[in-house]
């Protein structure tokens, strides 16, 4: 199983390849706000662990193992963002909060959050009811 740091790299590489068709060390470094040398070290580790194939100066490609995990990591991130919107979190806080929790949740917890998101999305009245509860709680605390 990849470490949280490895997950960040795999997720970003997956997103770059999905968006551009390729992922260069410089693009990964920019996206993650790290030095290219750090990316090179991690890419070499990911290559060794068979998440991708890396050829110096030629680029990299995700293996089927890397693609599968990358897809799951992007799903996890997107799902948690959806969940934060449903529970009414301020949009400006969503990205940082998701980044702060995504590596600490089990895949079982992610699946249950997925069930909850689906439950709320199936009927808008459920979201409206939640907003009513939130408003009542805010009024109690003021």
3-state secondary structure the chain: CCCHHHHHHHHHHHHHHHHHCCCCHHHHHHHHCCCHHHHHHHHHHHHHCCCEEEECCCEEEECHHHHHHHHHHHHHHHHHHHHHHHCCCCHHHHHHHHHHHHHHCCHHHHHHHHHHHHHHHHCHHHHHHHHHHHHHHHHHHC
Q: Are 12 and 63 contained in the same domain? A: yes
Q: Are 58 and 85 contained in the same domain? A: no
Q: Are 114 and 58 contained in the same domain? A: no
pLDDT of residue 142: 78
Tell me the whole-structure pTM to 2 decimals. 0.89
CATH number at residue 52: 1.10.10.10
CATH number at residue 121: 1.10.60.10
128: left (phi over 0), alpha (psi -120 to 50) or beta: alpha
Q: Are 79 and 136 contained in the same domain? A: yes
Q: Are 63 and 99 contained in the same domain? A: no
pLDDT of residue 65: 97
| Per-residue exposure over 80-97, b if at least 16 CB sit within 10 Å of its own CB, e if not | bbbbbebeeeeeeebeee
Indicate if the pLDDT at residue 58 is higher than 90: no
Annotated binding residue 99:
yes
Annotated binding residue 103:
yes
Indicate if the pLDDT at residue 59 is higher than 90: no
Q: How many domains does the chain have?
A: 2
Which two three-digit tokens encode residue 42?
């991690």
Annotated binding residue 8:
yes
Q: Are 34 and 57 contained in the same domain? A: yes
For residue 15, the enclosing domain spans 4-68
pLDDT band, residue 104 (cuts 50/70/90): very high
pLDDT of residue 89: 96
Annotated binding residue 104:
no
Q: How much is the average pLDDT of 71-88?
A: 97
């Amino acid at each position: 199983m990849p470490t949280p740091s490895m997950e960040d790299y795999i997720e970003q590489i997956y997103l770059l390849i999905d968006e551009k068709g390729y992922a260069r060390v410089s693009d990964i470094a920019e996206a993650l706000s790290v030095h290219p040398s750090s990316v090179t070290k991690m890419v070499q580790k990911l290559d060794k662990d068979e998440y991708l194939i890396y050829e110096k100066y030629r680029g990299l490609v995700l293996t089927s193992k890397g693609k599968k995990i990358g897809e799951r990591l992007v799903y996890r991130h997107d799902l948690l963002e959806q969940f934060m919107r449903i529970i009414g979190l301020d949009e400006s806080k969503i990205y940082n909060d998701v980044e702060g929790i995504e590596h600490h949740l089990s895949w079982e917890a992610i699946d249950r959050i997925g069930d909850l998101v689906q439950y709320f999305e199936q009927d808008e009245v459920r979201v409206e009811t939640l907003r009513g509860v939130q408003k009542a709680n805010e009024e109690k605390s003021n």
